[in-house]
Copies of this chain bind each other. A is one copy, B any other.
Amino acid sequence: MDKPLFIKIDPKDNVAIIVNEGGLPAGTAFPGGPTLVEHVPQGHKVALRDIAMDEPVLRYGVPIGYAVADIKTGSWIDESKVRMPVAPELDSMQLGGAVFPPAPPLEGQTFLGYKNADGSVASKNMLGIVPSVQCVSGVVAHAVKRIEAELLPKYPNVDGVAYLDHVYGCGVAINAPDAVVPIRTIRNLATHPNFGGEVLVVGLGCEKLLPTDMAPPAAVSTIVMLQDEKGFAGQVAAIMRLAEERLKRLNERRREVCPVAGLVVGVQCGGSDAFSGVTSNPAVGYAADLLVRAGATVLFSEVTEVRDAVWLLTPRAATKEIGQAIVREMKWYDDYLDRGGADRAANTSPGNKKGGLANIVEKSLGSIVKSGSGPIVEVLKPGEKPTKKGLIFAATPASDFVCGTEQLASGIHLQVFTTGRGTPYGLAAAPVVKVSTNSRLAAQWPDLIDVNAGTIATGEETIEQVGKRIYDLILDVASGRKKVWADVHGLYNSLSVFNPAPIT
Protein backbone atom coordinates (compact mmCIF):
# COMPACT_ATOMS: atom_id res chain seq x y z
CA MET A 1 0.00 0.00 0.00
CA ASP A 2 1.08 3.55 -0.72
CA LYS A 3 1.76 5.82 2.20
CA PRO A 4 -1.59 6.79 3.78
CA LEU A 5 -2.53 10.35 2.84
CA PHE A 6 -5.34 12.68 3.78
CA ILE A 7 -6.10 16.28 2.82
CA LYS A 8 -7.21 18.84 5.38
CA ILE A 9 -8.01 22.10 3.64
CA ASP A 10 -8.38 24.70 6.37
CA PRO A 11 -6.76 24.77 9.83
CA LYS A 12 -10.25 24.96 11.39
CA ASP A 13 -11.49 21.75 9.67
CA ASN A 14 -12.51 18.80 11.85
CA VAL A 15 -12.60 16.43 8.86
CA ALA A 16 -10.16 15.49 6.08
CA ILE A 17 -10.53 13.37 2.94
CA ILE A 18 -8.65 10.17 2.18
CA VAL A 19 -6.37 10.36 -0.84
CA ASN A 20 -5.39 6.73 -1.39
CA GLU A 21 -7.01 4.83 -4.23
CA GLY A 22 -9.34 2.17 -2.88
CA GLY A 23 -9.55 3.97 0.44
CA LEU A 24 -7.84 2.90 3.69
CA PRO A 25 -8.66 0.10 6.13
CA ALA A 26 -9.52 0.27 9.81
CA GLY A 27 -6.41 0.59 11.91
CA THR A 28 -4.55 2.86 9.51
CA ALA A 29 -2.68 5.39 11.64
CA PHE A 30 -1.76 8.84 10.39
CA PRO A 31 1.34 10.29 12.08
CA GLY A 32 0.10 13.10 14.29
CA GLY A 33 -3.45 12.39 13.12
CA PRO A 34 -6.30 9.97 13.70
CA THR A 35 -6.29 6.19 13.50
CA LEU A 36 -9.14 4.93 11.31
CA VAL A 37 -11.79 3.04 13.30
CA GLU A 38 -13.33 1.68 10.09
CA HIS A 39 -12.59 1.49 6.35
CA VAL A 40 -12.88 4.91 4.69
CA PRO A 41 -13.28 5.02 0.87
CA GLN A 42 -11.14 7.25 -1.31
CA GLY A 43 -12.29 10.87 -1.29
CA HIS A 44 -14.48 10.32 1.76
CA LYS A 45 -14.25 12.19 5.02
CA VAL A 46 -12.62 10.99 8.23
CA ALA A 47 -13.24 12.71 11.57
CA LEU A 48 -10.02 14.36 12.79
CA ARG A 49 -11.44 14.70 16.29
CA ASP A 50 -14.57 13.75 18.19
CA ILE A 51 -17.58 15.67 16.88
CA ALA A 52 -20.60 15.83 19.17
CA MET A 53 -24.16 15.60 17.91
CA ASP A 54 -25.32 18.93 16.40
CA GLU A 55 -21.75 20.24 16.24
CA PRO A 56 -20.75 21.62 12.84
CA VAL A 57 -18.82 19.41 10.44
CA LEU A 58 -16.15 21.79 9.16
CA ARG A 59 -14.52 21.60 5.71
CA TYR A 60 -13.04 24.55 3.81
CA GLY A 61 -13.12 26.15 7.27
CA VAL A 62 -16.92 26.43 7.23
CA PRO A 63 -19.84 24.18 8.22
CA ILE A 64 -20.90 21.78 5.50
CA GLY A 65 -23.57 20.53 7.90
CA TYR A 66 -24.16 19.31 11.43
CA ALA A 67 -23.51 15.91 12.99
CA VAL A 68 -26.71 13.88 13.34
CA ALA A 69 -25.09 11.85 16.17
CA ASP A 70 -21.82 11.77 18.09
CA ILE A 71 -18.92 10.97 15.74
CA LYS A 72 -15.70 9.44 17.10
CA THR A 73 -12.21 10.42 15.88
CA GLY A 74 -11.16 8.21 12.96
CA SER A 75 -14.75 7.43 11.87
CA TRP A 76 -16.00 7.58 8.29
CA ILE A 77 -18.40 10.50 7.84
CA ASP A 78 -20.71 9.58 5.00
CA GLU A 79 -23.64 11.72 3.89
CA SER A 80 -26.04 10.02 6.33
CA LYS A 81 -24.09 11.46 9.27
CA VAL A 82 -24.42 15.09 8.17
CA ARG A 83 -27.57 17.21 8.44
CA MET A 84 -27.64 19.83 5.70
CA PRO A 85 -27.79 23.47 6.81
CA VAL A 86 -30.48 25.80 5.52
CA ALA A 87 -29.52 27.74 2.40
CA PRO A 88 -27.79 31.07 2.98
CA GLU A 89 -30.23 33.92 3.50
CA LEU A 90 -30.05 36.16 0.42
CA ASP A 91 -31.10 39.57 1.69
CA SER A 92 -28.34 40.41 4.12
CA MET A 93 -25.15 39.41 2.35
CA GLN A 94 -22.13 41.60 1.88
CA LEU A 95 -22.26 42.97 -1.68
CA GLY A 96 -18.81 43.98 -2.85
CA GLY A 97 -16.01 45.21 -0.62
CA ALA A 98 -13.66 42.22 -0.79
CA VAL A 99 -9.92 42.91 -0.80
CA PHE A 100 -8.19 41.19 -3.69
CA PRO A 101 -4.70 39.74 -3.91
CA PRO A 102 -2.37 41.66 -6.22
CA ALA A 103 -2.96 40.64 -9.86
CA PRO A 104 -0.55 42.46 -12.16
CA PRO A 105 -1.61 42.31 -15.83
CA LEU A 106 0.00 39.63 -17.98
CA GLU A 107 1.13 41.66 -20.95
CA GLY A 108 1.51 40.48 -24.53
CA GLN A 109 -0.28 37.15 -24.22
CA THR A 110 -1.39 35.89 -27.63
CA PHE A 111 -2.86 32.87 -29.38
CA LEU A 112 -3.43 31.93 -33.00
CA GLY A 113 -7.09 32.53 -33.75
CA TYR A 114 -9.37 33.60 -36.54
CA LYS A 115 -10.38 37.25 -36.73
CA ASN A 116 -14.06 37.92 -37.42
CA ALA A 117 -15.43 40.93 -39.27
CA ASP A 118 -17.23 42.14 -36.12
CA GLY A 119 -13.97 42.32 -34.16
CA SER A 120 -14.47 39.07 -32.28
CA VAL A 121 -12.05 36.14 -32.56
CA ALA A 122 -12.59 32.42 -33.10
CA SER A 123 -10.88 29.29 -31.76
CA LYS A 124 -12.28 27.05 -34.48
CA ASN A 125 -13.39 27.60 -38.06
CA MET A 126 -16.77 25.90 -38.15
CA LEU A 127 -19.73 25.87 -40.49
CA GLY A 128 -22.62 26.53 -38.08
CA ILE A 129 -26.08 25.26 -39.01
CA VAL A 130 -28.95 26.29 -36.76
CA PRO A 131 -32.53 25.04 -37.11
CA SER A 132 -35.30 27.39 -36.03
CA VAL A 133 -37.44 24.44 -35.06
CA GLN A 134 -37.02 20.73 -34.32
CA CYS A 135 -39.40 19.82 -37.18
CA VAL A 136 -36.57 20.25 -39.71
CA SER A 137 -34.15 18.04 -37.78
CA GLY A 138 -34.38 14.89 -39.89
CA VAL A 139 -33.77 16.73 -43.16
CA VAL A 140 -30.90 18.79 -41.76
CA ALA A 141 -29.23 15.73 -40.21
CA HIS A 142 -29.39 14.04 -43.61
CA ALA A 143 -27.93 17.11 -45.34
CA VAL A 144 -25.17 17.41 -42.72
CA LYS A 145 -24.08 13.82 -43.40
CA ARG A 146 -23.81 14.63 -47.09
CA ILE A 147 -22.00 17.93 -46.44
CA GLU A 148 -19.46 16.08 -44.30
CA ALA A 149 -18.98 13.35 -46.88
CA GLU A 150 -19.14 15.31 -50.13
CA LEU A 151 -18.23 18.94 -49.43
CA LEU A 152 -15.98 19.18 -46.38
CA PRO A 153 -13.05 17.27 -47.94
CA LYS A 154 -12.85 20.02 -50.57
CA TYR A 155 -12.42 22.73 -47.92
CA PRO A 156 -9.57 21.56 -45.68
CA ASN A 157 -9.28 24.82 -43.74
CA VAL A 158 -12.75 24.33 -42.29
CA ASP A 159 -12.71 22.38 -39.02
CA GLY A 160 -16.14 20.85 -39.37
CA VAL A 161 -19.89 21.32 -39.22
CA ALA A 162 -21.57 22.32 -35.96
CA TYR A 163 -25.20 21.34 -36.34
CA LEU A 164 -26.98 22.99 -33.41
CA ASP A 165 -29.94 20.64 -33.20
CA HIS A 166 -32.46 21.55 -30.47
CA VAL A 167 -36.01 20.57 -29.52
CA TYR A 168 -37.43 24.09 -29.41
CA GLY A 169 -39.17 26.32 -31.92
CA CYS A 170 -42.82 25.31 -32.08
CA GLY A 171 -45.41 23.89 -29.73
CA VAL A 172 -44.02 26.31 -27.17
CA ALA A 173 -45.63 29.10 -25.20
CA ILE A 174 -43.51 31.68 -26.93
CA ASN A 175 -45.05 34.60 -25.05
CA ALA A 176 -44.67 33.04 -21.60
CA PRO A 177 -42.39 35.20 -19.44
CA ASP A 178 -39.63 32.57 -19.23
CA ALA A 179 -39.61 31.81 -22.96
CA VAL A 180 -37.13 34.63 -23.28
CA VAL A 181 -34.48 32.19 -22.04
CA PRO A 182 -34.64 29.56 -24.83
CA ILE A 183 -35.22 32.21 -27.50
CA ARG A 184 -32.19 34.22 -26.43
CA THR A 185 -30.15 31.04 -26.17
CA ILE A 186 -30.87 29.88 -29.72
CA ARG A 187 -30.43 33.36 -31.15
CA ASN A 188 -27.05 33.75 -29.45
CA LEU A 189 -25.94 30.24 -30.44
CA ALA A 190 -26.49 31.24 -34.06
CA THR A 191 -24.04 34.11 -33.77
CA HIS A 192 -21.31 32.12 -32.01
CA PRO A 193 -17.92 33.59 -32.99
CA ASN A 194 -16.59 30.22 -34.16
CA PHE A 195 -19.07 30.38 -37.08
CA GLY A 196 -17.37 33.50 -38.45
CA GLY A 197 -20.70 35.26 -39.13
CA GLU A 198 -21.52 32.64 -41.75
CA VAL A 199 -24.25 30.70 -39.97
CA LEU A 200 -26.86 28.88 -42.02
CA VAL A 201 -30.39 28.93 -40.58
CA VAL A 202 -32.87 26.23 -41.57
CA GLY A 203 -36.53 26.95 -40.86
CA LEU A 204 -39.75 25.17 -41.72
CA GLY A 205 -42.15 28.00 -42.54
CA CYS A 206 -44.97 27.74 -40.01
CA GLU A 207 -43.04 27.77 -36.71
CA LYS A 208 -43.32 30.22 -33.86
CA LEU A 209 -39.63 30.95 -33.47
CA LEU A 210 -38.95 32.97 -36.59
CA PRO A 211 -35.76 32.15 -38.51
CA THR A 212 -35.28 35.87 -39.15
CA ASP A 213 -34.83 36.23 -35.39
CA MET A 214 -31.78 34.00 -35.59
CA ALA A 215 -29.81 35.03 -38.64
CA PRO A 216 -27.21 37.76 -38.17
CA PRO A 217 -28.61 41.15 -39.22
CA ALA A 218 -28.50 41.83 -42.96
CA ALA A 219 -27.93 38.17 -43.68
CA VAL A 220 -31.44 36.95 -44.40
CA SER A 221 -30.08 35.19 -47.46
CA THR A 222 -28.64 32.65 -45.04
CA ILE A 223 -32.08 31.13 -44.44
CA VAL A 224 -33.53 28.00 -46.06
CA MET A 225 -37.25 27.49 -45.48
CA LEU A 226 -38.21 23.87 -46.11
CA GLN A 227 -41.86 24.62 -46.95
CA ASP A 228 -40.66 26.75 -49.86
CA GLU A 229 -38.61 23.96 -51.44
CA LYS A 230 -39.74 21.31 -53.90
CA GLY A 231 -39.81 18.13 -51.86
CA PHE A 232 -37.08 16.48 -49.87
CA ALA A 233 -34.71 16.54 -52.84
CA GLY A 234 -35.14 20.30 -53.21
CA GLN A 235 -34.67 20.84 -49.45
CA VAL A 236 -31.41 18.95 -49.32
CA ALA A 237 -30.14 20.64 -52.48
CA ALA A 238 -30.92 24.10 -51.07
CA ILE A 239 -29.13 23.39 -47.79
CA MET A 240 -26.09 21.99 -49.59
CA ARG A 241 -25.90 24.89 -52.01
CA LEU A 242 -25.92 27.49 -49.22
CA ALA A 243 -23.54 25.35 -47.17
CA GLU A 244 -21.03 25.25 -50.00
CA GLU A 245 -21.19 29.02 -50.49
CA ARG A 246 -20.23 29.38 -46.84
CA LEU A 247 -17.60 26.66 -46.90
CA LYS A 248 -15.85 28.45 -49.75
CA ARG A 249 -15.59 31.66 -47.75
CA LEU A 250 -14.69 29.93 -44.49
CA ASN A 251 -11.96 28.00 -46.30
CA GLU A 252 -10.18 31.29 -47.07
CA ARG A 253 -9.72 32.03 -43.38
CA ARG A 254 -6.29 31.58 -41.73
CA ARG A 255 -5.17 31.68 -38.13
CA GLU A 256 -3.50 34.93 -37.09
CA VAL A 257 -1.86 36.18 -33.92
CA CYS A 258 -4.66 37.44 -31.66
CA PRO A 259 -4.52 38.88 -28.15
CA VAL A 260 -5.63 36.46 -25.44
CA ALA A 261 -7.86 39.33 -24.34
CA GLY A 262 -10.24 38.29 -27.12
CA LEU A 263 -10.85 34.86 -25.60
CA VAL A 264 -13.97 33.88 -23.66
CA VAL A 265 -13.39 30.72 -21.62
CA GLY A 266 -16.11 28.87 -19.72
CA VAL A 267 -15.41 26.75 -16.66
CA GLN A 268 -17.65 23.95 -15.46
CA CYS A 269 -17.56 20.81 -13.33
CA GLY A 270 -19.55 17.60 -13.71
CA GLY A 271 -19.50 14.24 -11.99
CA SER A 272 -17.72 15.97 -9.10
CA ASP A 273 -16.16 14.21 -6.13
CA ALA A 274 -14.56 15.36 -2.91
CA PHE A 275 -11.27 15.97 -4.74
CA SER A 276 -12.86 18.51 -7.09
CA GLY A 277 -12.58 21.28 -4.54
CA VAL A 278 -8.94 20.58 -3.67
CA THR A 279 -7.30 19.54 -6.93
CA SER A 280 -8.88 20.35 -10.30
CA ASN A 281 -11.06 23.28 -9.31
CA PRO A 282 -8.38 25.34 -7.52
CA ALA A 283 -6.06 24.63 -10.47
CA VAL A 284 -8.77 25.84 -12.88
CA GLY A 285 -9.24 28.85 -10.61
CA TYR A 286 -5.53 29.58 -10.91
CA ALA A 287 -5.78 29.33 -14.71
CA ALA A 288 -8.85 31.60 -14.59
CA ASP A 289 -6.84 34.21 -12.70
CA LEU A 290 -4.08 34.01 -15.34
CA LEU A 291 -6.65 34.44 -18.13
CA VAL A 292 -8.20 37.44 -16.42
CA ARG A 293 -4.75 38.97 -15.85
CA ALA A 294 -4.10 38.49 -19.59
CA GLY A 295 -7.27 40.47 -20.30
CA ALA A 296 -9.51 37.54 -21.25
CA THR A 297 -13.05 36.75 -20.12
CA VAL A 298 -13.87 33.81 -17.87
CA LEU A 299 -17.42 32.61 -17.31
CA PHE A 300 -18.34 30.51 -14.30
CA SER A 301 -21.87 29.22 -13.89
CA GLU A 302 -24.08 26.52 -12.30
CA VAL A 303 -26.50 28.35 -10.01
CA THR A 304 -27.34 25.41 -7.72
CA GLU A 305 -23.63 24.81 -7.19
CA VAL A 306 -23.10 28.43 -6.26
CA ARG A 307 -26.20 28.93 -4.13
CA ASP A 308 -24.86 27.51 -0.87
CA ALA A 309 -21.52 29.25 -1.17
CA VAL A 310 -22.86 32.51 -2.56
CA TRP A 311 -21.94 34.42 0.59
CA LEU A 312 -18.31 33.82 -0.38
CA LEU A 313 -18.93 35.31 -3.84
CA THR A 314 -21.07 38.40 -3.32
CA PRO A 315 -18.25 40.26 -1.50
CA ARG A 316 -16.20 39.73 -4.68
CA ALA A 317 -18.76 41.63 -6.82
CA ALA A 318 -16.98 44.64 -8.34
CA THR A 319 -19.95 46.85 -7.49
CA LYS A 320 -22.99 46.62 -5.25
CA GLU A 321 -25.18 46.36 -8.37
CA ILE A 322 -23.26 43.32 -9.57
CA GLY A 323 -23.70 41.79 -6.11
CA GLN A 324 -27.43 42.44 -6.37
CA ALA A 325 -27.47 40.78 -9.79
CA ILE A 326 -25.88 37.64 -8.30
CA VAL A 327 -28.60 37.62 -5.64
CA ARG A 328 -31.26 38.17 -8.32
CA GLU A 329 -30.14 35.03 -10.19
CA MET A 330 -30.10 32.98 -6.98
CA LYS A 331 -33.64 34.09 -6.15
CA TRP A 332 -34.85 33.42 -9.66
CA TYR A 333 -33.60 29.85 -9.41
CA ASP A 334 -34.97 29.36 -5.88
CA ASP A 335 -38.39 30.40 -7.21
CA TYR A 336 -38.07 28.24 -10.32
CA LEU A 337 -37.23 25.14 -8.27
CA ASP A 338 -39.93 25.96 -5.74
CA ARG A 339 -42.60 26.23 -8.46
CA GLY A 340 -41.63 22.70 -9.51
CA GLY A 341 -41.73 21.32 -5.98
CA ALA A 342 -37.95 20.96 -5.63
CA ASP A 343 -35.06 22.76 -3.96
CA ARG A 344 -31.28 22.98 -4.34
CA ALA A 345 -30.88 19.62 -2.54
CA ALA A 346 -32.01 18.08 -5.85
CA ASN A 347 -28.45 18.73 -6.95
CA THR A 348 -25.85 16.13 -5.88
CA SER A 349 -26.07 12.91 -7.83
CA PRO A 350 -25.50 9.36 -6.58
CA GLY A 351 -22.02 9.64 -8.13
CA ASN A 352 -21.24 12.83 -6.19
CA LYS A 353 -22.11 10.99 -2.98
CA LYS A 354 -20.10 7.93 -3.96
CA GLY A 355 -17.23 10.35 -4.56
CA GLY A 356 -17.40 11.60 -1.00
CA LEU A 357 -19.60 14.69 -1.28
CA ALA A 358 -22.08 14.72 1.59
CA ASN A 359 -24.42 17.34 0.16
CA ILE A 360 -24.79 20.40 -2.06
CA VAL A 361 -23.11 22.64 0.53
CA GLU A 362 -19.86 20.66 0.37
CA LYS A 363 -20.20 20.41 -3.42
CA SER A 364 -20.73 24.16 -3.80
CA LEU A 365 -17.74 25.08 -1.64
CA GLY A 366 -15.61 22.98 -3.95
CA SER A 367 -17.32 24.22 -7.09
CA ILE A 368 -16.91 27.96 -6.74
CA VAL A 369 -13.13 27.83 -6.47
CA LYS A 370 -13.08 27.41 -10.27
CA SER A 371 -13.76 31.15 -10.34
CA GLY A 372 -10.28 31.94 -9.03
CA SER A 373 -9.74 34.89 -6.74
CA GLY A 374 -10.60 38.01 -8.73
CA PRO A 375 -13.47 40.48 -8.75
CA ILE A 376 -16.74 39.58 -10.52
CA VAL A 377 -17.33 42.27 -13.13
CA GLU A 378 -20.64 41.20 -14.69
CA VAL A 379 -23.60 38.85 -14.22
CA LEU A 380 -25.32 37.24 -17.21
CA LYS A 381 -28.77 35.71 -17.34
CA PRO A 382 -28.80 32.26 -19.03
CA GLY A 383 -27.51 32.54 -22.60
CA GLU A 384 -26.70 36.26 -22.53
CA LYS A 385 -23.51 37.52 -24.15
CA PRO A 386 -20.93 39.35 -22.02
CA THR A 387 -20.36 43.06 -22.47
CA LYS A 388 -17.25 43.19 -20.27
CA LYS A 389 -13.92 41.42 -19.95
CA GLY A 390 -12.76 39.71 -16.79
CA LEU A 391 -14.46 37.26 -14.43
CA ILE A 392 -18.19 36.93 -15.08
CA PHE A 393 -20.93 34.94 -13.39
CA ALA A 394 -23.06 33.46 -16.18
CA ALA A 395 -26.13 32.03 -14.45
CA THR A 396 -27.03 28.61 -15.88
CA PRO A 397 -28.40 25.31 -14.61
CA ALA A 398 -25.68 23.01 -13.26
CA SER A 399 -26.63 20.08 -15.53
CA ASP A 400 -23.47 19.61 -17.63
CA PHE A 401 -24.98 19.65 -21.10
CA VAL A 402 -27.38 22.51 -20.27
CA CYS A 403 -24.61 24.64 -18.77
CA GLY A 404 -22.49 23.81 -21.83
CA THR A 405 -25.27 24.89 -24.19
CA GLU A 406 -25.92 28.13 -22.31
CA GLN A 407 -22.21 29.00 -22.07
CA LEU A 408 -21.91 28.36 -25.82
CA ALA A 409 -24.75 30.82 -26.34
CA SER A 410 -22.77 33.28 -24.23
CA GLY A 411 -19.97 32.85 -26.76
CA ILE A 412 -17.28 30.72 -25.07
CA HIS A 413 -14.37 29.79 -27.33
CA LEU A 414 -13.42 26.89 -25.13
CA GLN A 415 -14.63 25.22 -21.97
CA VAL A 416 -12.58 23.76 -19.13
CA PHE A 417 -14.51 20.92 -17.54
CA THR A 418 -13.44 19.17 -14.35
CA THR A 419 -14.68 15.71 -13.42
CA GLY A 420 -14.05 13.23 -10.65
CA ARG A 421 -16.40 10.38 -11.53
CA GLY A 422 -15.83 10.86 -15.27
CA THR A 423 -18.00 11.97 -18.17
CA PRO A 424 -17.06 11.85 -21.87
CA TYR A 425 -18.69 15.25 -22.39
CA GLY A 426 -17.85 17.37 -25.45
CA LEU A 427 -19.22 20.25 -27.55
CA ALA A 428 -19.05 20.51 -31.34
CA ALA A 429 -18.84 24.30 -31.54
CA ALA A 430 -16.01 24.83 -29.04
CA PRO A 431 -13.30 22.56 -27.61
CA VAL A 432 -13.77 21.12 -24.11
CA VAL A 433 -10.61 20.54 -22.03
CA LYS A 434 -11.37 17.74 -19.56
CA VAL A 435 -9.52 17.82 -16.25
CA SER A 436 -9.68 14.85 -13.86
CA THR A 437 -9.79 15.54 -10.13
CA ASN A 438 -7.99 12.30 -9.29
CA SER A 439 -5.33 10.07 -10.85
CA ARG A 440 -7.54 6.98 -10.79
CA LEU A 441 -9.85 8.48 -13.42
CA ALA A 442 -6.94 9.75 -15.53
CA ALA A 443 -5.56 6.19 -15.63
CA GLN A 444 -8.98 4.66 -16.31
CA TRP A 445 -9.73 7.03 -19.21
CA PRO A 446 -6.36 7.85 -20.80
CA ASP A 447 -8.01 8.66 -24.15
CA LEU A 448 -10.64 11.02 -22.71
CA ILE A 449 -8.97 13.03 -19.93
CA ASP A 450 -6.80 15.92 -21.18
CA VAL A 451 -5.26 17.00 -17.87
CA ASN A 452 -4.78 15.06 -14.64
CA ALA A 453 -5.06 17.28 -11.56
CA GLY A 454 -4.95 14.25 -9.26
CA THR A 455 -1.22 14.88 -8.85
CA ILE A 456 -2.11 17.73 -6.51
CA ALA A 457 -3.70 15.32 -4.01
CA THR A 458 -0.60 13.15 -3.91
CA GLY A 459 1.77 16.10 -3.65
CA GLU A 460 3.44 15.41 -7.00
CA GLU A 461 2.44 18.84 -8.31
CA THR A 462 1.21 22.10 -6.84
CA ILE A 463 -2.06 23.84 -7.66
CA GLU A 464 -0.02 26.53 -9.42
CA GLN A 465 1.84 23.99 -11.56
CA VAL A 466 -1.34 22.27 -12.75
CA GLY A 467 -3.06 25.62 -13.17
CA LYS A 468 -0.24 26.84 -15.41
CA ARG A 469 -0.45 23.60 -17.43
CA ILE A 470 -4.18 24.19 -17.92
CA TYR A 471 -3.58 27.80 -18.97
CA ASP A 472 -0.94 26.73 -21.50
CA LEU A 473 -3.19 23.99 -22.85
CA ILE A 474 -6.06 26.47 -23.26
CA LEU A 475 -3.86 28.63 -25.51
CA ASP A 476 -2.56 25.59 -27.43
CA VAL A 477 -6.08 24.30 -28.05
CA ALA A 478 -7.48 27.74 -28.92
CA SER A 479 -4.60 28.06 -31.39
CA GLY A 480 -5.28 24.71 -33.03
CA ARG A 481 -1.82 23.43 -32.00
CA LYS A 482 -3.30 20.70 -29.81
CA LYS A 483 -6.56 18.82 -29.98
CA VAL A 484 -8.62 17.84 -26.96
CA TRP A 485 -9.68 14.18 -26.84
CA ALA A 486 -13.33 15.06 -27.53
CA ASP A 487 -12.23 16.62 -30.84
CA VAL A 488 -9.89 13.73 -31.65
CA HIS A 489 -12.78 11.27 -31.41
CA GLY A 490 -15.56 13.67 -32.42
CA LEU A 491 -17.48 13.18 -29.16
CA TYR A 492 -20.17 15.80 -28.92
CA ASN A 493 -23.17 16.00 -26.63
CA SER A 494 -26.56 17.02 -27.89
CA LEU A 495 -27.40 20.61 -27.11
CA SER A 496 -29.93 21.13 -24.37
CA VAL A 497 -31.42 24.59 -24.48
CA PHE A 498 -32.67 25.68 -21.05
CA ASN A 499 -36.43 26.11 -21.25
CA PRO A 500 -38.10 27.07 -17.98
CA ALA A 501 -41.30 27.98 -19.87
CA PRO A 502 -44.14 25.55 -20.58
CA ILE A 503 -44.75 23.85 -23.90
CA THR A 504 -48.11 23.44 -25.51
Contacts and interface: CB of A to CB of B under 8 A. Distances in A.
A206 B271 contact: yes
A289 to B, nearest CB: 27
A191 to B, nearest CB: 22
Nearest to A139: B424
Interface residues of A, number: 82
A502 B337 contact: yes
Contacts of A340: 173, 176-178, 500-502
Interface in A335-387: 336-337, 339-342, 344, 346-347, 349-352, 354-355
A349 B504 CA distance: 11
Contact of A142 (B342, B346, B398, B491): B491
Interface in A457-504: 485-486, 489-494, 496, 498, 500-504
Nearest to A178: B340
A422 interface: yes
Contact of A232 (B337, B339, B424): B424
A204 B349 CA distance: 12
Contacts of A176: 340-342, 346
B504 A165 contact: no
Contacts of A34: none
A174 interface: yes
A397 B167 CA distance: 13
Interface in A413-433: 421-426
A490 B422 contact: no
Interface of A (DSSP majority class): loop
Contact of A170 (B167, B400, B500): B400
A78 interface: no
Interface string A124-136: 0000000000111
Interface string A119-149: 0000000000000001111110110000000
A342 B172 CA distance: 10
Contact of A494 (B134, B402, B446): B134
B206 A350 contact: yes
A98 to B, nearest CB: 27
Nearest to A502: B340
Contacts of A137: 401, 492-494
Given A232-B448, A424-B235, A491-B139, A172 B399 contact: yes
A433 to B, nearest CB: 15
B494 A167 contact: yes
Contacts of A141: 492
Given A136-B424, A173-B342, A351 B231 contact: no
Contacts of A227: 351, 421-422, 444
Candidate in A171, A230, A397 with the most chain B CB atoms within 10 angstroms: A171
A165 B493 CA distance: 10
Given A135-B401, A423-B135, A489-B142, A206 B342 contact: no
A175 interface: yes
Interface string A199-235: 0000011111010000000000000001100111101
Q: Which 10 A-B pairs have the closest CB atoms?
A: A206-B351, A171-B399, A138-B491, A173-B342, A340-B502, A173-B346, A167-B496, A206-B421, A176-B342, A347-B504
Given A134-B496, A173-B342, A340-B500, 7 more contacts: A134-B401, A137-B493, A139-B491, A231-B445, A232-B485, A397-B504, A399-B503
